[in-house]
């Protein structure tokens, strides 16, 4: 394994070298499609995040981390990703995502760039480190298409990457909505890195469906709504499954989307085909009485070859009738 990796990893890293020249220091150096499904390697500046999708011995993990470090990484953090991670991530957090690096010195926080925009990455204690690299094209889309002087709603905001790009593009009002106060505060730190104001009233804590209903009752409308839900989530109001509930989500989002406004809808459920996803979007628009036109279709970034899990659709919603 080490000899093969010593040939493979530098070649893969060379393919991504142009990203740094374009102002991107956060990328996937090796995707699972390039490693026979064994592992993936992400670069966050000078820190590597090694995700394992197979059980390896402690010695094999060390050899793999050493091979990764030879790409100029000062530290390598390990993420063990089980087939069924929802429960294990809660009860085995420290085993799945050790807070200490498997190689190199502790780096609790790293500031990275994506197309010149800085983001704060925390590579240690959680499986999620602050930014999902496969959504880079979607964040770039928001940067190009956010309404200048308009209003944007970023749901399931996580650390607010979409909202940040909308604000940088010139949107006048950007609301970031998430069920975790912790990640919203992280998002405010990302705003600060770009020199943007981050008032608390633009970072909404709570359930997305509850907030969409409240915003609708207030008569608030947005020229762009971003939908980036997890495949599965549990909250006080119930269980969310994207393969079952996405149509309902779009219907509620449509109710707060201005006439002729846009929705950027993301789905990362690998078991849901692109065709099935689009049918759910059509059903949601119909429920809301809106005419839907898909204006753009794309997926994960160039450093995710062969990845079909992420489906991104840009929609324009016109009044029905």
CATH level 2 (architecture), domain 133-319: 3-Layer(aba) Sandwich (3.40)
Distance between CA atoms of 246 and 140, rounded to whole angstroms?
23
Exposure letters 124-140 (e unless 16+ CB within 10 A, then b): beeeebbbbbbbbbbbb
Given a cut of 80, whether residue 90 has pLDDT beyond it is: no
Residue 87 pLDDT level (bands cut at 50, 70, 90): very low
Residue 252 pLDDT exceeds 90: yes
- 217 Cβ contact partners less than 8 Å away, ≥ 6 residues apart: none
Tens of pLDDT, residues 268-303: 998 899 999 999 999 999 999 999 999 999 999 899
pTM for this entry? 0.94
Q: How many other C-beta atoms lie within 10 A of the C-beta of residue 271? A: 9
| Angstrom distances, CA of residue 105 to CA of 95, 129, 286 | 19, 17, 54
Identify the CATH assignment for 2-118 out of 3.30.70.141, 3.30.750.80, 1.10.510.10, 3.40.50.150: 3.30.750.80
Domain ranges of the chain: 2-118, 133-319
pLDDT above 70: residue 208: yes
- Domains 2-118 and 133-319 are alike in CATH topology: no
User: What amino acid positions are annotated as catalytic residues?
Assistant: 267
- Average pLDDT of the residues of the chain: 93
107: phi then psi, degrees, rounded to nearest 5: -135, 95
């Amino acid at each position: 394994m080490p000899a093969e990796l010593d040939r493979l990893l530098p070649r893969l890293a060379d393919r991504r070298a142009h990203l740094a020249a374009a102002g991107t220091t956060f990328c996937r150096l090796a995707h699972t499609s390039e490693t026979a499904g064994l592992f993936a390697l992400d670069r966050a500046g000078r820190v590597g995040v090694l995700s394992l999708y197979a059980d390896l011995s402690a010695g094999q993990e060390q050899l793999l981390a050493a091979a990764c470090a030879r790409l100029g990484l000062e530290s390598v953090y390990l993420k063990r990703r089980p087939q069924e991670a929802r429960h294990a991530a809660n009860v085995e957090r420290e085993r799945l995502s050790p807070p200490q690096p498997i190689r190199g010195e502790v780096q609790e926080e790293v500031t990275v760039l994506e197309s010149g925009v800085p983001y704060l990455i925390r590579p240690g204690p959680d499986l999620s480190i602050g930014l999902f690299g496969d959504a880079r094209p979607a964040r770039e889309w928001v940067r190009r298409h956010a309404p200048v002087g308009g209003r944007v709603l970023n749901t399931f905001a996580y650390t607010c990457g979409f909202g940040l790009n909308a604000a940088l593009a010139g949107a006048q009002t950007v609301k970031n909505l998430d069920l975790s106060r912790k990640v919203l505060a992280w998002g405010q730190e990302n705003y600060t890195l770009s020199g943007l104001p981050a008032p608390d009233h633009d970072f909404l804590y709570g359930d997305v469906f509850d907030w969409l209903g409240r915003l609708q009752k207030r008569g608030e409308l947005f020229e762009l709504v971003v939908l980036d839900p997890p495949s599965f989530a549990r909250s006080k109001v119930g269980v969310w499954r994207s393969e079952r509930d996405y149509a309902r989500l779009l219907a509620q989002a449509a109710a707060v989307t201005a006439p002729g406004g846009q929705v950027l809808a993301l789905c990362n459920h690998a078991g849901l085909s692109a065709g099935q996803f689009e049918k759910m979007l059509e059903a949601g628009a119909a429920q809301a009485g809106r005419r839907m036109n898909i204006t753009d279709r794309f997926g994960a970034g160039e450093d995710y070859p062969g990845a079909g899990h992420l489906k991104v659709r840009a929609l324009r919603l016109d009044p029905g009738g």
